[in-house]
Amino acid sequence: MSKPRQRLLGTAGRLFGERGYECVGINEIIAKAEIAKATFYQHFPSKEALCAEWLRSEMASFSALHQELLDDPRPARKKIAEMFDQLCCYVEESGFNGCPFCVTSTMIGTDSEIREVILNFRERSRSFWHSIARELGLKGAAARNLGDAWLLLHTGAITESQSVGGVWPVEQAKKAALTLADAAVA
């Protein structure tokens, strides 16, 4: 990846993460990335395309973590705890900016290229949690229901952490997720 492209993605990601997609303009991104406007348009046809690419890179990072955990031989319960521990670190390191996919989804139209990236990420995340539920021995609807509950706890925890500027929602969601896991195998 070219250095100007990397700077654009890094700068846009930081600004979108801090203030949201709608609150950041192309001119600010260009100025803070220290590139020419023509260089921006060599790499991205629009701010929307830049945001979609940033979210794809975020999705790749999350997908790598998901795959790493699925490949890990540890019990499912430890993987669940790891996901919430990682989330705790993420919300603190991001300054409680929230989930980039959730925050961005509130600022775009339904026909946006960005919406497709967000929906793709959500389906991948949902599939990950369903896989963890299957590792507990659940099948069919039971695995889907438990996986969906974990997804909602995870997403809700990051959203509430953003609202309160603290990690306690993630810690409580982790406890609830582990309680659900224990109940599923009892």
Per-residue pLDDT of 93-112, as tens digits, reads 888 888 888 888 888 888 88
**Scanning the structure block, which residue is given the tokens 């390191």?**
93
50-104 pLDDT, tens per residue? 999 999 999 999 999 999 999 999 999 999 999 999 999 999 988 888 888 888 8
Phi/psi at 84 (5° precision): -75, -35
What is the greatest pairwise CA distance in the chain?
61
Per-residue pLDDT at 98: 82
**pLDDT, tens digit, 9 for 90 and up, residues 145-165:** 999 999 999 999 999 999 999
Per-residue model confidence (pLDDT) at position 84 = 97
Beta strand residue intervals within the chain, DSSP E? none
How many angstroms separate the CA atoms of 118 and 83, rounded? Answer: 19
Query: What's the pTM?
Result: 0.90
Mean pLDDT of the 25-32 span: 95
C-alpha distances out from residue 1 to 32, 117, 120, Å: 19, 20, 23
Is the CB of residue 8 less than 8 Å from the CB of residue 50? yes
User: According to the model, what pLDDT value does residue 99 have?
Assistant: 86
